[in-house]
């Protein structure tokens, strides 16, 4: 029962994350770089800070925690956050060129596989005494492969969609639809986004041990990773503000109330995935396999729900019934991949 509850919590977080682009559509008269960094303030700073504070017991502080943490682990956690930030900003661009459904599917699929595998591999390089590679069991590999199969099937559906739609239909569904360009950006986004889980692996022991509720153990590390990602995104977005002469977006007082509200909502929904991941892992401790696969499961569920939103937002409008059937088959494989490792 605890395992099912843990998976349910992760699923709720995934649903919230997959919904975060809906409020962004309500933002008015701001360029991409302006609303991206403002929602990032909430997604990568404000809400992660509030989450990390839950891991701090009475009489202690976050400053005390970070000051007493192993300097190398803390630095690596932030560094992989900076690398993840590259994936984060290109992730947004993949949505721009492919739409929510296909863009998230490809990027998150790559992220799920590489993020799950790279964490133990790199941790083993720096700390071989931890024997982190032992967590990559056959069941874990099966789970990753099943996720990739589901992603590949959805990718086929995307290719079928691209081949069947006219240029006018593509633009109607996704304004800047560009399949070749979008695929390259989505793959890069997925590879770099996988660094998020690597950062979590390096920072998983940055907490107060038994004084911290197991459900909140990874929240301080989450803050460090998102802080690193915020740095990358801030540099890029402010550069774009200067290049595109869009600094004036921030001076448009008439839309600030509306845009700030929806940026905050988008940020809260985005952060919910990693808040839910931390809470969910607190119920998965009896299954080492699912603990290792938890990040992959989160990404698989993100893809599942993002495609549901893609259908709702009519990004698959005009596609044949065969294309939709392939899409649904891919979604079903992803759902099965969440439970399959536990049955092996």
* Every domain of the chain and the residues it spans: 2-343
* Residue 175 confidence (pLDDT): 63
CB 150 within 8 A of CB 299: no
Separation between Cα atoms, residue 242 and residue 237, nearest integer Å: 9
* Residue 169 confidence (pLDDT): 62
CB atoms within 10 A of CB 142: 17
* Residue 205 confidence (pLDDT): 92
* Residue 269 confidence (pLDDT): 96
CB 112 within 8 A of CB 311: no
Region of 209 please: left (phi>0), alpha (psi -120 to 50) or beta: left
Residue by residue, pLDDT tens for the chain (344 residues) are 789 999 999 999 999 998 888 898 899 999 989 999 999 999 999 999 999 999 999 999 999 999 999 999 999 999 999 999 998 778 777 877 777 667 767 787 788 888 899 889 998 888 888 888 888 899 999 999 998 898 888 878 877 877 776 666 655 656 667 778 888 888 888 889 899 999 999 999 999 999 999 999 999 999 999 999 999 999 999 999 999 999 999 998 889 999 999 999 999 999 999 999 999 999 998 888 899 999 999 988 888 888 888 888 777 777 888 988 999 999 899 888 887 777 66
* Residue 206 confidence (pLDDT): 95
* Residue 277 confidence (pLDDT): 96
* Residue 231 confidence (pLDDT): 96
* Residue 337 confidence (pLDDT): 86
Separation between Cα atoms, residue 107 and residue 86, nearest integer Å: 12
Closest among 338, 304, 279 to 18, alpha carbons compared: 304
| Token pair recorded at residue 48 | 């992660």
* Residue 91 confidence (pLDDT): 77
- Could you give the angle at the alpha carbon of 91 between the alpha carbons of 161 and 187, nearest 5°? 65
Separation between Cα atoms, residue 55 and residue 51, nearest integer Å: 7
Separation between Cα atoms, residue 14 and residue 7, nearest integer Å: 10
The pTM assigned to this predicted structure is 0.88
Helix, coil or strand: residue 246: coil
């Amino acid at each position: 029962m605890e395992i099912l509850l843990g998976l349910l919590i992760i699923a709720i977080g995934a649903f919230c994350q997959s919904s975060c682009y809906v409020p962004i559509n309500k933002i008015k008269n701001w360029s991409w770089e302006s609303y991206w960094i403002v929602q990032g303030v909430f997604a990568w700073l404000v809400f992660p800070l509030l989450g990390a504070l839950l891991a701090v017991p009475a009489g202690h502080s976050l400053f005390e925690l970070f000051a007493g943490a192993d300097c190398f682990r803390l630095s690596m956690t932030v560094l992989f956050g900076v690398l993840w930030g590259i994936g984060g900003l290109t992730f947004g661009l993949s949505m721009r060129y492919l739409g929510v459904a296909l863009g998230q599917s490809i990027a998150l699929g790559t992220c799920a596989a590489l993020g799950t595998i790279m964490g133990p591999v790199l941790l083993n390089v720096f700390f071989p005494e931890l024997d982190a590679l032992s967590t990559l069991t056959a069941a874990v590999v099966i789970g990753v492969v099943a996720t990739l199969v589901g992603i590949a099937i959805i990718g086929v559906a995307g290719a079928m969609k691209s081949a069947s739609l006219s240029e006018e239909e593509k633009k109607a569904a996704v304004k800047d639809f560009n399949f070749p360009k979008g695929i390259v950006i989505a793959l890069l986004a997925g590879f770099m986004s996988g660094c998020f889980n690597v950062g979590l692996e390096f920072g998983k022991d940055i907490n107060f041990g038994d004084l911290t509720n197991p459900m909140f153990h990874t929240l301080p590390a989450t803050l460090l990773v998102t802080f690193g990602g915020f740095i990358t995104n801030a540099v890029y977005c402010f550069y774009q503000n200067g290049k595109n002469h869009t600094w004036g977006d921030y001076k448009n007082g008439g839309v600030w109330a509306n845009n700030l509200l929806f940026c905050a909502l988008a940020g809260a929904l985005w952060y919910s995935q990693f808040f839910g991941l931390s809470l969910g892992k607190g119920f998965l401790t009896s299954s080492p396999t699912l603990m290792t696969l938890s990040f992959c499961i989160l990404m698989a569920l993100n893809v599942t729900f993002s495609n549901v939103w893609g259908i709702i937002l009519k990004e698959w409008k005009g596609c044949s019934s065969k294309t939709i059937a392939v899409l649904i088959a891919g979604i079903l494989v992803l759902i099965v991949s969440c439970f399959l490792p536990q049955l092996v």
